Structure 1
Amino acid sequence: MTERLDMLGIGKSFFATRALDDVNFSCTAGEVHALVGLNGAGKSTLMKILGGVYQRDEGEIRINNTPVEIAAPADAGRHGIAMIHQELSLIGELTVAGNIFLGKEIRHKGTPFMNKAEMARQVRAQLDRFGLALDPHRPVRELNSGEKQIVEIIRALMSDAWLIVMDEPTSALSEEDKEMLFDFIRRMKAEGIAIIYISHHMPEIFGIAEDVTVMRDGVIVLSERIAETSEDHVIKSMTGAELDQFVKPHKQITGKVVLSVDGLSSPGNYDGVTLGVHEGEIVVLTGLRGCGAPELAKAIFGLDAGYGGEVRYLDKTLKPGRGPAVAVREGMGLVTENRDKNGILPPLSVRDNIALPFLEKTLKGGLIDGARVDSIVAKAIRDTSTKTSSPDQEIRFLSGGNKQKICFSRWLDEDLKLLILLEPTRGIDVHAKADIYRIIEDLAGRGVGILILSYEIDEVLMLGDRVLTMYQGATIHEYAYPHFDKDRMLADMAGAGHTT
């Protein structure tokens, strides 16, 4: 019998927010079903319900027309459902076979010792089944990204999974690794494995999937066979109605060029990128994760020396890899995409986190001018509407939105000329977003050039004076406000018209 999953009438609310509303989703063994939608559309919530991470409020899950309960990830595993996440969970020091059998090792009979030969033999049999040449004895740290994806999948298959959910599986893969993965997926289909494939990349979806379902605002808005639809139809279904009118301050960009990037290239990251940022201008880079924009931004800030091409800042050619300290002295600022890992020092106070970039400027007779530091910190907290009990409060106890405001506030210095923002509103609530948008517009209004990376299309349209779309490391089109085309931008980002 052909295995089949049906999720029927699935509903889920988080307090007053309706995340999923009467969602019906099905997939069949031996086929790839692509699940797509903009960020916040409900894809992840639906899959977390399938994987037992969240519990549905309404509806039922059926396998082969029999209702099943999935109250925890272990339940999903018992029903043959496996999740392959973007962040792989492999241990580099273990071998391929060691990772696959982790937690369920085979022992020599009557002893506590692992039977490594038998584990390797079983893994080799699975690899041979799909025509894969990996060595079961090889340490995972030596594998490339595509091979690591395959190890995760083999681990799922050896746990008797008949349905595998893949979340943006190619986001970190080279073209060669992608082809290896796609060939593996085709072999899995031939073996009767069902795959739910979450991706924004249109060439991939139309190259390997039989069905496509589009979610928007927690509901299914399109579910069709791939052969009966088109890239354009899928993209238009993702975007839906036009964005609510947002009155962006109209301004003439007449200031001088602050940043000029000419033919910047870094193998595997970005290729031949040329762009400029003027005083008071907000330029937004957008694409899918893996498009190369974060690496490009960090090279501009001096965090990477491994690029070709030229970066000019205030009419001076910058030396590759000059380091962030030099960038700060020259009037550049950077807000990273991962504030908890790279943007703050959790054990330190709000005061210390704000003051760090300015300590050198506050020196007076070789000593830190405490009064000036206090003045800078008080102004930063006030200007960003940061909610904190005291400047001495440890920053780790603040909300995500307030931590992000601190990351901004450290750059509100009169010497700032260029601010680079990577995903400036990632993981913060709508009220904090409104404050961040106001800060960005205020900085631009005083003549600061701003370069932003954002994956949120509505945010891109709200903020940008100019928008550059990127796909696989290359800039595709440039759009100038008010002549933005949301559907075309999404098509650029998804690689519509590009071949896989």
Structure 2
Amino acid sequence: MTGRLDMLGIGKSFFATRALDTVDFSCIAGEMHALVGLNGAGKSTLMKILGGVYQRDEGEIRIDGQAVEIAAPADAGRHGIAMIHQELSLIGELTVAGNIFLGKEIRHTGTPFLNKREMAAQVRAQLDRFGLKLDPNRPVRELNSGEKQIVEIIRALMSDAWLIVMDEPTSALSEEDKEMLFEFIRRMKAEGIAIIYISHHMPEIFGIAEQVTVMRDGVIVLSERIPDTTEDEVIKSMTGAELDQFVKPHKQITGKVVLSVDGLTSPGNYQDVTLDVHEGEIVVLTGLRGCGAPELAKAIFGLDAAYEGQVRYLDRVLKPGRGPAVAVREGMGLVTENRDKNGILPPLSVRDNIALPFLEKSVKGGLIDGARVDGIVAKAIRDTSTKTSSPDQEIRFLSGGNKQKICFSRWLDEDLKLLILLEPTRGIDVHAKADIYRIIEDLAERGVGILILSYEIDEVLMLGDRVLTLFEGRRVQEYAYPHFDKDRMLADMAGAGHAT
């Protein structure tokens, strides 16, 4: 069985930018090697070289001591290397088995007809091997995020992968789903599977990895066995300094009510939800995935008209489904949970992505005032500490953290009254996360009402002035800072509390 990967002296440049500089990285069977670093440190570039997406300029790749060429993703697959990306690539209408066998279906001999029974049996054997309870014949659209992650991994294993690269695999998972994934990972390691694990979550890394490597500015700055280092040492290596920790300021909420939701109900999504958001207040909704919070937030923003109840904003009753254009004109903003799919326009520049909500306000004499737009863009980049080579750079080439800052920068307009944030720090590093927290607090200090959905309990406790727990679409309890109770909140999220 394949036992070791070595990437030796890997170098890669993009025009004048040196993305990787003589990088050595290895991974062995039966272990997890965590790869960490700030957004833009070079992690993704290194893994794209391993996966055949990019070609290295220097260095070599060895598997069990033998040099190999990986010129395309298909080459990586032939060498037993599989990539599990942050945004999954499953087809909801197909079954678990149908997704796993997509493109390599088993057919009844001599016929064009699929042998669904045999495909399901083979998938069932793999699931049983790792003690998993999924039904191979269940449509993927019915699975939760953790189960979908497992389907992706099983698909890789059934393609004879011995090395699996996981990119932020827990960014969209509930605490319960994370534990299911971690148990699966432990079983894979026991079976001799090697795992490269890209993550910014220190407790995960120190809980299940054997080795951690830190990249910064395209080079390796630390590589240690887990027992020989600490979380603080890893974070310091990532940033090059002690991390300036975000500390929630003490404040009194005295502003008037910006948003008032009364008895909002959408069957199958949320039921009889009531809440208020005041000027300068940060209200956090939390629960397990499926709690109804994203659907509730999108209804408030005007993306969904199929609800009963009332939404009042600045003392006006809002028309259901009025649309995002009206919401923006009214001083409301939304940062979605999936920035690459719904938050940015990848082919456009950083400038164009930032300017979109401001174009209507930048018209002068029937024409767009380019100078005003340039001023808005420059200020937005400066205020969010976004790293970009130029406002003309295509946004798709930015790191995840910088893309998220661009999504925030659209709403730094002086007319903003309410900002809705869905998983605002999903899939970004600790440094970018601290920057995002400061932006949120700065907006609140300015008097903007903030409504956040977050599934990360520590983030909930850090950001919220008030926290509302949800279970299966119903409001459970409300907690006011500083009287937060983490254990009770977790019990609420799991259904052990009582709806109010």
TM-score norm. by structure 1 comes to 0.63
1:110 is displaced (CA, Å) by 2.6
Q: 1:3 to 1:247 in 2, by over 3 A?
A: closer
Q: Distance in 2 between matches of 1:189 and 1:389?
A: 41
Change in 2 beyond 3 A, CA 1:349/1:119: closer
Change (3 A) 1:51 1:406: closer
2:175 and 2:12 map into 1 onto residues whose CA distance is: 37
State how far apart, in whole Å, the 2-side matches of 1:56 and 1:209 are.
27
Aligned-pair CA distance for 1:56: 0.6
C-alpha separation in 2, matches of 1:472 and 1:203: 28
The CA distance in 1 between the partners of 2:414 and 2:181, in whole Å, is 50
Map Cα deviations across residues 277-325 of structure 1 (whole Å, 9 max, x no partner): 9989999999999999988975774668999999996689999998757
Cα gap change, 1:315 to 1:429, in 2 (>3 Å): same
Task: Calculate the aligned-residue CA RMSD, in Å.
Answer: 8.3
Contact 1:11 1:23 in 2 (8 A): yes
Q: Is the 8 A contact 1:171 1:290 kept in 2?
A: no
Once the 2 structures are TM-superposed, how far is the Cα of residue 6 of structure 1 from its aligned partner?
0.5
Q: 1:332 to 1:62 in 2, by over 3 A?
A: same
- More moved, 362-371 vs 416-425: 362-371
CA distance in 2 between counterparts of 1:224 and 1:386 reads: 31
What CA distance in whole angstroms lies between the structure 2 residues aligned with 1:107 and 1:54? 35
Q: Which moved more, 1:191-200 or 1:240-249?
A: 240-249
Partners of 1:161 and 1:13 lie apart in 2 by 29
In structure 2, distance between residues paired with 1:499 and 1:44: 43
Change (3 A) 1:363 1:93: same
Contact 2:31 2:194 in 1 (8 A): yes
Gaps of 5+ in 1: none
For the residues of structure 2 that align with 1:165 and 1:451, how far apart are their CA atoms?
A: 34
Structure 1 residue 201 displacement after superposition: 1.4
After TM superposition, give the deviation of residue 238 of structure 1 in Å.
1.4
Classify 1:255/1:235 alpha carbon distance in 2 versus 1 (closer, same or farther; 3 Å).
same
Q: 1:191 and 1:20 mapped to 2: Cα distance? A: 32
Listed one character per residue, the Cα deviations across residues 40-87 of structure 1 (whole Å, up to 9, x for unaligned) are 111111110000000111111000011111000000011010111112
SS at match of 2:312: strand
Change (3 A) 1:243 1:275: farther
Tell me how far 1:136 sits from its aligned partner: 2.0
Distance 1:319 1:73, change over 3 A: same
- Which residue is equivalent to 1:129? 129
What is the aligned partner in structure 2 of residue 420 from structure 1? 420
Decide whether the 8 Å contact of 2:37 with 2:429 is kept in 1: no
Change (3 A) 1:284 1:42: farther
- Compared with structure 1, are the counterparts of its residues 330 and 221 closer, same or farther at alpha carbon in structure 2 (3 Å cutoff)? same
Change (3 A) 1:492 1:367: same
Instruction: Decide whether aligned partners of structure 1 residues 216 and 492 sit closer, same or farther in structure 2, where only a CA change above 3 A counts.
Output: farther
Does the C-alpha gap of structure 1 residues 151 and 489 become closer, same or farther in structure 2, counting only changes over 3 Å? Answer: closer
Change (3 A) 1:91 1:236: same
The answer to whether the Cα contact below 8 Å between 1:236 and 1:487 also exists between their aligned partners in 2 is no
- Single out whichever of 350-359 and 188-197 deviates more from structure 2: 350-359
Q: Which moved more, 1:60-69 or 1:431-440?
A: 431-440
The answer as to whether partners of 2:266 and 2:308 remain within 8 angstroms in 1 is yes
State the 1:181 CA deviation. Answer: 1.3
Write the distance in 1 (CA, Å) between the matches of 2:165 and 2:28.
13
> 1:127 deviation in Å?
1.7
For the residue of structure 1 that corresponds to 2:359, the secondary structure is helix
CA drift of 1:158 comes to 1.1
Q: Name the counterpart of 1:245.
A: 245
Measure the CA separation in 1 of the matches of 2:469 and 2:304.
22
TM-score under structure 2 normalisation? 0.63
Deviations 1:107-151 (A, max 9, x none): 222332222222222222222221222222222222222222111
CA distance in structure 2 between the aligned counterparts of 1:217 and 1:287, rounded to whole angstroms: 37
**CA distance in 1 between partners of 2:390 and 2:415 (Å):** 26
Q: Which range moved further: 344-353 or 485-494? A: 485-494
CA contact (8 A) 1:203 1:499 kept: no
Confirm or deny: 8 A CA contact 2:246 2:437 kept in the other structure.
Answer: no
Paired residues of 1:76 and 1:82 also in contact (CA < 8 A) = yes
1:68 correspondence with 2:68: yes
Cα deviation 1:444-498 (Å, max 9, x = unaligned):
9998778999999999999999999999999999999999999999999999999
Q: Bigger shift: 436-445 or 19-28? A: 436-445
Provide the rounded CA distance (Å) in 2 between the counterparts of 1:472 and 1:119: 34
Q: Is the 8 A contact 1:61 1:69 kept in 2?
A: yes
Do 2:384 and 2:409's aligned partners in 1 also have CA atoms closer than 8 Å?
A: yes
After superposition, the Cα gap between the structure-2 partners of 1:115 and 1:249, relative to the gap in structure 1 and judged at 3 Å, is closer
* Contact 1:203-1:496 within 8 A present in 2 as well: no
Partners of 2:481 and 2:440 in 1: how far apart? 16
Aligned to 1:489: 489
Shift of 1:331: 3.2
| 1: CA distance, partners of 2:143 / 2:496 | 31
Cα distance in 1 between the residues matched to 2:495 and 2:232: 11
Partner residue, 2:302: 302
Inter-CA distance 142–262: structure 2 relative to 1 (3 Å threshold): closer
Matched ranges for 1:25-36 at <5 A: 25-36=25-36
- Secondary structure of 1:74 counterpart: helix
Structure 1 residues 198 and 267: alpha-carbon distance in aligned structure 2, compared to 1, 3 A threshold:
farther
Shift of 1:159: 1.0
Once the two structures are TM-superposed, the CA of residue 3 in structure 1 deviates from its matched residue by 0.6
User: Structure 1: how far apart are the matches of 2:368 and 2:397?
Assistant: 26
1:169 is matched with 169
State the 1:357 CA deviation: 8.7
Native 8 Å contact 1:201 1:494 kept in 2: no
Distance in 1 between residues matched to 2:279 and 2:207, nearest whole Å: 43
What is the CA deviation profile of residues 376-433 of structure 1, one whole-angstrom value per residue up to 9, with x for unaligned ones? Answer: 9999999999999999999999999999999999989886545668899999999999
Q: How many residues align?
A: 500
State the distance in 2 between where 1:19 and 1:389 align: 13
Name the stretch that deviates more: 488-497 or 52-61.
Answer: 488-497
Q: Which piece of structure 1 moves more, 65-74 or 107-116? A: 107-116
How many Å apart are 1:220 and its aligned residue?
1.0
Q: CA deviation at 1:367?
A: 19
**Which protein shows a greater Rg?**
1
Q: Quote the offset at 1:215 in angstroms.
A: 1.1
Question: Does the aligned pair in 1 maintain the 2:245–2:434 contact within 8 Å?
Answer: no
